[in-house]
Amino acid sequence: VFSQKEVWVCGCCYDCCMRCLGGVPYCSLVATLLCFSGIALFCGCGHQALTETERLIETYFARNLHDYITLAYIIQYFQYVIYGLASFFFLYCIALLAEGFYTTSAAKQTFGEFRSTMCVMTYLLAVLWLLVFAFSALPVYFFYNMDATCSTIAVLTETPASINQLCVDARQYGLLPWNAVPGKACGMTLSSICKTREYQMTYNLYVAAFAGAGITLLALLTYTVSSTYNFAVLRYLGRKGIGPRC
């Protein structure tokens, strides 16, 4: 049997725990985890996929260094951009999570009403990242077409004449200049490329990077929704003592 004092202490602890849990911005917390995982997947897999792409082009599609030197510089540039994206999103996600905690009811009672300016920034960032998401689909499309061509070659192995007409031309996708030699792979040569470990790994890395870009986009949209909700609640219901939970 608990004494009246023990019951009162338990009740106070329970109320304190409920207030603490009520002050956790769950939407922002979930969005932060999604953003960290998505950007890590996009940057890590994307960086390695670019390195493997350069190796594939150098080995199978271009014999002269001058044919792919421009592509090599572009790949190096994008890898530096990936370094910057990883650093930026790490800091930005932490800032958004901190804002989520700041705009809860418990924090609002301590610091007063708060009007967020990061909602618009997150919305603009989500729009820009939508372009990155679409751009990351391009290498997946290239390798998908290459894999489909290799599958067709595997079906038509009994007709060599037809197989030699099936090609993947890297010059058509803008990866190499039109005077690059050979610039394309056909028939059994293409089929042998598709069976290499480098090709399979590069394809999987681009798919993973594309998935990471999608997860990051989902995280930014979640941030936008939660920030909009927080701003609306603080503006219209703040004086009634009701705070946001995102």
Q: Which residues of the chain have pLDDT under 50?
A: 1-2, 6-9, 106-107, 110-115
Give the pLDDT of residue 139: 93
Q: Taking the model in full, what pTM does it have? A: 0.81
Give the pLDDT of residue 1: 45
CA dihedral 212, 125, 119, 30 (to 10 degrees): 10
**What does the angle CA 144 – CA 146 – CA 152 come to, to the nearest 5 degrees?**
105
Give the pLDDT of residue 160: 65
